[in-house]
Chains A and B, each alone.
Chain A
Amino acid sequence: MRIRNLFAVVMMAGIYSLLSAGLFTIMDAVDVAFTEAAVGAGISTVLFLGALALVGHHERKPGHTPLLPLIVVLVTGGALVYGTMDMPPYGDPGNPVHHHVADHYLEESPHEIGIPNIVTAVLASYRGYDTMGETTVVFTAAVAVMLLLARRPRRPEEEEDEA
């Protein structure tokens, strides 16, 4: 956070993303881990670097003291930690999250779908509409980016007047 060079910031973010991918592997989420490594550490870093090439990579020193944000963050964090007291413990097989539809997916998907990777079976079949909606989101984002960046030579005379 104190680094002023934004290239270094983006590179640190990429390393952080790769580390979190390793953490996902430890927590048995291999599919999520390689998506995070490819998308989070790969594509997102490339996007940030592309943006930096266009906007320059130096941050000016901030003028105001960040005391109010610090208080806000500490209060929010404290409230959240208090909230975790009611959460189920980590790694317990009896947690409620494991006993609604997850059992059904684990038992029935080999018969109903017939592929061994359950995450793929759920993603592409049980929640296929969800994945289609995700594709729509990506399409919308691509259209938005193109619209934003394609309007570059807009009204040059007004910009000269202001300058």
Chain B
Amino acid sequence: MTLLSHYNYWVVILLMMVGFYTMISRGNLIKKMVGLNVFQTSVFMLYISMGKIRGGTAPILMDAHGESSETAHVLYSNPLPHVLILTAIVVGIATTAVGLALIVRIKETYGSIEEDEINQIEAEGAA
């Protein structure tokens, strides 16, 4: 086990932190959503990279009739993370759609999509 054998996790963490930083440091709501998407994709990459086997191939059986004598000596990557991530991508686009709809409503109500301006309007309304 060498140190470089974990580079896939480090790439994932780098991307994840870029998305995280975008989310918590920018006041613009659209930019926050883009950051959230980057974060999501980094999690997808984490799962897919865990499913990869060196020298393996895509998990589609070579013999269409499924005879195990033909398929036994082919190395396939793990199909399970792929299935989970397919579900996660679709759920991710659903959350993105709801978030963008919320942003559109916020723009209509407050006339701004900047976080601090909205806070200011809220404070003025309360005072």
- List A residues at the B interface (Cβ < 8 Å): 1, 6, 9-10, 13, 16-17, 20, 23-24, 27-32, 35-36, 39-40, 43-44, 47-48, 50-52, 54-56, 59-60, 62-64, 66, 69-70, 72-74, 76-77, 80-81, 84-85, 87-93, 95, 97-98, 101-102, 105-107, 109-111, 114, 116-119, 122-123, 127, 130-131, 134, 137-138, 140-142, 144-145, 148-149, 151-152, 159, 162
* Segment 64-121 of B: residues with Cβ below 8 Å from A: 64-68, 71, 75-83, 85-87, 89-91, 93-98, 100-105, 107-109, 113-114, 116-117
When the two chains form their complex, are residues B30 and A148 in contact, meaning their CB atoms are under 8 A apart? no
Nearest Cβ in chain A — how far from B127, in angstroms?
13
* CB < 8 Å neighbour of B93 from A43, A55, A80: A43
Interface centre among A29, A64, A89, A102 (most CB of B within 10 A): A29
Q: How many A-B contacts at CB < 8 Å in the complex?
A: 264
- List B residues at the A interface (Cβ < 8 Å): 1-2, 5-10, 13-14, 16-18, 20-22, 24-28, 30-31, 33-34, 37-38, 41, 44-45, 48-68, 71, 75-83, 85-87, 89-91, 93-98, 100-105, 107-109, 113-114, 116-117, 125
